[in-house]
Amino acid sequence: MFAMFSPNGSTTQVNLFNQICTDNENFDLNIDDEALAGSIPCPPTDKGTYQPLTLLSTWDGQDANGSWQLAIVDGGPGDVGQLETWSIEVCYVGAACELTVTNTNATGTAALLETISCANSGSTITINLPAQSVIDLGSMNIIIDKNLTINSVNPVFIDYSGAGSALNLNENISLTLNNVEIRQVP
């Protein structure tokens, strides 16, 4: 039996495969939920990719950081051997980044700060608020560390009451504002 345990401290066991061959000792294969369904050959030395007995997606949404454990149980009498190598590849799909501002608060869901933080360099952020809306930063300034374009569907204002600039750009960073006016307010 080949099984794995994730680093999240849970006792959730994912069984990779069991009793493929009764008398062969060599294995060279890959396990992937997205592999075509089918039996693992005997001996499994073709470097093929096969589905596990228990889907690896059992761990979807869990933190992948930490020590993963591989458990191997050889129930055959008199067998000896060693595992030479094994590896795990974790594919992470991040949460969707919403690039539309619909909240006039500086922070929170669909707010300017969250949207800027989420965006990748080169992204275009759209502000979709009624004309003349005000996004009030208060005294909080925002550090821009990636190239961005911020377009507003309607003319909007970003009000800032702090010292210095409302939007601070790191070196070699560009920011394009369209239909957006930044105002220093008391």
CA dist., res. 14 & res. 8, Å (int): 13
In this structure, the number of other CB atoms found within 10 A of the CB of residue 114 comes to 18
> Distance (Å, rounded) from C-alpha 14 to C-alpha 48?
19
- Is residue 167 a contact partner of residue 137, using CB atoms and an 8 Å limit? no
Q: What is the pLDDT of residue 23?
A: 67
Euclidean distance between CA atoms 96 and 93, whole angstroms: 9
Please give the pLDDT value at position 65. Answer: 77
Strands 49-50 and 175-184: unpaired
Which residues in the chain land under pLDDT 50?
none
User: Residue 3 belongs to what H/E stretch?
Assistant: strand 2-5
pLDDT at 20: 78
Per-residue pLDDT, 150? 95
- The pLDDT value recorded for residue 37 is 81
pLDDT of residue 55: 86
Report the SS3 class of residue 135.
strand
Residue 56 pLDDT: 85
| Residue 4 Cα to chain centre, angstroms | 22
Other C-beta atoms closer than 10 Å to the C-beta of 117 total 13
